[in-house]
Structure 1
Amino acid sequence: MMFERIAPEQHDTLDGVPEPAENPHLYGHEQAVSMLTAAYRAGKLPHALIFAGPVGIGKATLAFHLASYLLRHPDHRNAPEAFVAPDPGSAQFRQVASGAHPGVLHLTRPQNDKTKGFKTVVTVDEIRKVSRFLSMTSHDGSYRVVIVDPADDMNVNAANALLKNLEEPPARTLFILIVHAPGNLLPTIRSRCQTIRLTPLDDASLLSALAGTDQLAPDEPQARAALVERAGGSVRGAILLTQYGGLDIADALDKAVSGGRTGIADAHKLADVVAGRDSAIQFEIFNRRALDLLAESAADAARSSELARANALADAWQDAQNAISETETYNLDKKQHVLAMIDRLNAAMRM
C-alpha cells in the first residue's frame, strides 16, 4: 500500500516515513503507556509532561497517541486501560495529522522563508501560538494538547514565553515537551513538568517498527545484527543507516579516526560525501556518529575508572555538540566542519 503523507513537512522529515502525527503504530514504551492511562483514569494526569530520551525512539509518536486517547475519551472515568491504535481513515486522525484539529497544537521549527528550508530553533513566534490556541473554548469539553517537538530547540525567548504558559494553564490542558537532552531545558520549565524517561527500543520492537514503516532490515543475519547494534534502539537511526548510506558513513568515519596521518585522504573523501549541497541527512548521520564515538569512549573510560579521561571526553563531546549547533545556526562551511570534527576526534581518542 502506497504511503500517503498528510502531515506538514518538518525539518527532519524522511521520504516515505510517516511523521509522528500520522503514524498509527506505536512500538515499545508499554510501561509509560500504562502509567499515563492509569493517571488519566484516576483523574491525576499532570498538566505538563516531558518525554525524555534519545532521538528516534518514538517520543513524539507516543505524544500524539496520548493526544488521540484523550480526545477519544473526554470522560476519564470511561477511558480504557490501554491505548487503542487510531484509525487512519477517521476524521479525527486526519485532522490531527494535518495540523487542523482544534484540540491539538504541534509546535516545531518553523520554515525559513529566506532559505526555503527550516529555522534552526523553535522561535518565540511559534510559542506565542499557545495563548491563541488556549483562548479558544473546547467545543466538547475535551482536552487541549500542546506538543513542543523538540523542546530542546527553543531559543531563550521561546523558552521564557512557554514558561509563562506553564505557570497557570487552563483546566483540561496538557503540555507535552519532546526532549532529547533534559539538561538543555530551563530548570524552571523542568520543575513545572513531570519527566517520563523513555528508553531505546529493544531489538524486537526496533525491527517491528522498521517493518511498520516499510523500511526493511537486511536479510543477512550478520548485517541485521550490525544494524541493530549501530541503531541503538532508534528507529530513525536505523532508517538513516539503511536508506541513506549511514553504515558506510559510520564505517568511513571510524576508519578516518583510526587511520592517523594515513587517514587524511579518507577524511577528505568522507567530507565530500557528507558535506554536499543535497547531503543534509548524510551530514546529520556523520555528526551523530561523531558524538556517539565520543560518548562511547567516555563511557568506556568511566567503566575503567579513568575518570580524568572520561571527563575530558565528556568535555570533547560538549565541544563537538557546540560546533554542530554553530555550523547549522550560522550556515558555516560544512566540509571544513567535517575535517575539523575528524581532527577533534583524533585528538580526543588519543587523550
Structure 2
Amino acid sequence: MIFERIAPEQHDTLDGVPEPSETSRLIGHAQTAGMLATAYRAGKLPHALILAGPHGIGKATLAFHLAHHLLRHPDFAAAPEALAVPDPASSLFRQIATGAHPSVLHLTRPANDKTKSFKTVLTVDEIRKVSRFLSMTSHDGSYRVVIVDPADDMNTNAANALLKNLEEPPARTLFILIVHAPGSLLPTIRSRCQMVRLTPLAPDELMGVLEGIEPLPPVDPAARAALAGRAGGSARNAILLTQYGGLEIAGALDALVAAQKPDIAAAHRLAEAVAGRDQAIQFDIFNR
C-alpha cells in the first residue's frame, strides 16, 4: 500500500513514515493510555501534561490520540474507558492530521524562509499563537488541545511566553508538552504540569511499528535482535537504522574500533558514507 502524507512536513520528517498526527495505530504505552482515558472519564484530567521519554518512542503519537479522544467524546462522563482508535477515513482524523481542526494547535519548529528548511528552535512567535488560539471560543464547547512538540526546542523567550499561558489556562484546555529531556525545561513549567514518563518500546512493539513501513524489518531472528538492540526501544532509531544504512554504519564503526591495527581504507570508506552534503541523517546515526 502506497503511503500518502496528509500532515504538514516538519523538521524531523522521514520519507515514507507517517507523522504522529496521521498515525492511526498507537503501539506500546497501553498502561499510560488507559490511565489518561480513565482520568478524563472521571473528570480529573490535569490542564497540562508532560509526556517525557527518549526520542522516537511514540510520545507525540500518544498526544494526538489523546486529543482525538477528547474531541470525539466531548462528554467526559460518557467517554469510553480506553482511548478511541482513530478512523483514518473520518473527517475528525483528517482535520487533526492536516492541522485544520480548530480545537487542536500543534506547535513545533517553524519553517525558515531564508534557508528553505526549518529553524533550529521553537520560537516565541510560535508560542504567541497560543493566546490567539485560546481567545477563540471552542466551536462546539469541547476541549482545546495545545501540543508543544518538542518543548525541549523552545528558546528562553518562548518558554517564558508558554509559562504565562500555563499559569491561568481557560477551562477545558489541555496542554501537552512532548519532552525528551525534562531537565531542559524551566522548573516553573515543570511544576505546572503533571509528568508522565514513557518507557522505550519492547522489541516486539518496535517490529510492530516497522511492519507498516518500507523497507520491512529483517526476517532473520538474529538480525531482528541486533536491530532492536541498537535501536534502544526507539522506533525512530529503528527506522533510521533500516532505511538509511544505519546498521551498516554501526557495523563498520564497530569493526574499526575492534581492529587490531588501524584500517585507514575502511575509515575513509566510512567517512565518505556519512560526510556528504545530503547525508545529514547518516552523519547523525554515526555520531550517536
TM bracket (short chain): over 0.9
Q: Structure 2 unaligned runs (5+)?
A: none
Query: What is aligned with 1:18?
Result: 18
Deviation at 1:229, TM superposition (A): 1.1
Partner SS for 2:170 = coil
Instruction: Describe the superposition over 1:276-296 as per-residue Cα deviations: whole angstroms up to 9, x where unpaired.
Output: 1111211221222xxxxxxxx
Instruction: Describe the superposition over 1:246-275 as per-residue Cα deviations: whole angstroms up to 9, x where unpaired.
Output: 011112233344558715554443333222
Distance 1:215 1:169, change over 3 A: farther
Contact 1:24 1:88 (8 Å CA) reproduced: yes
Query: What is aligned with 1:275?
Result: 275
Query: What is aligned with 1:81?
Result: 81
Query: What is aligned with 1:27?
Result: 27
Distance 1:100 1:257, change over 3 A: same
Deviation at 1:199, TM superposition (A): 0.4
Q: Which AA in structure 2 matches 1:106?
A: H
- Whole-Å Cα distance in 1 between the matches of residues 269 and 121 of structure 2? 31
Query: What is aligned with 1:164?
Result: 164
Partner SS for 2:113 = coil
Q: Which AA in structure 2 matches 1:252?
A: A
Partner SS for 1:224 = helix
Partner SS for 1:43 = coil
Instruction: Describe the superposition over 1:165-224 as per-residue Cα deviations: whole angstroms up to 9, x where unpaired.
Output: 111111101000111111111111111111100001111111111113344210122111
Deviation at 1:65, TM superposition (A): 0.2
- Whole-Å Cα distance in 1 between the matches of residues 68 and 202 of structure 2? 25
Partner SS for 2:84 = coil
**Which residues of 2 match residues 25-174 of structure 1 at below 5 A?**
25-174=25-174
- Whole-Å Cα distance in 1 between the matches of residues 272 and 156 of structure 2? 35
Of the two structures, which has the highest relative contact order with CA contacts closer than 8 Å and spacing of 6 or more?
A: 2
Q: What TM-score results when the alignment is normalised by the length of structure 2?
A: 0.96
- Whole-Å Cα distance in 1 between the matches of residues 160 and 132 of structure 2? 17
Q: Structure 1 unaligned runs (5+)?
A: 289-351
- Whole-Å Cα distance in 2 between the matches of residues 213 and 76 of structure 1? 35
Distance 1:23 1:253, change over 3 A: same
Contact 1:25 1:212 (8 Å CA) reproduced: no
Q: Structure 1 stretch 22-31 or stretch 245-254: which is displaced more?
A: 245-254
Query: What is aligned with 2:247?
Result: 247
Q: What TM-score results when the alignment is normalised by the length of structure 1?
A: 0.79
Instruction: Describe the superposition over 1:38-71 as per-residue Cα deviations: whole angstroms up to 9, x where unpaired.
Output: 1111111000000001111100000000000000
**Which residues of 2 match residues 330-349 of structure 1 at below 5 A?**
none
Distance 1:162 1:266, change over 3 A: farther
- Whole-Å Cα distance in 2 between the matches of residues 7 and 286 of structure 1? 29
Contact 2:68 2:84 (8 Å CA) reproduced: no
Distance 1:156 1:225, change over 3 A: same
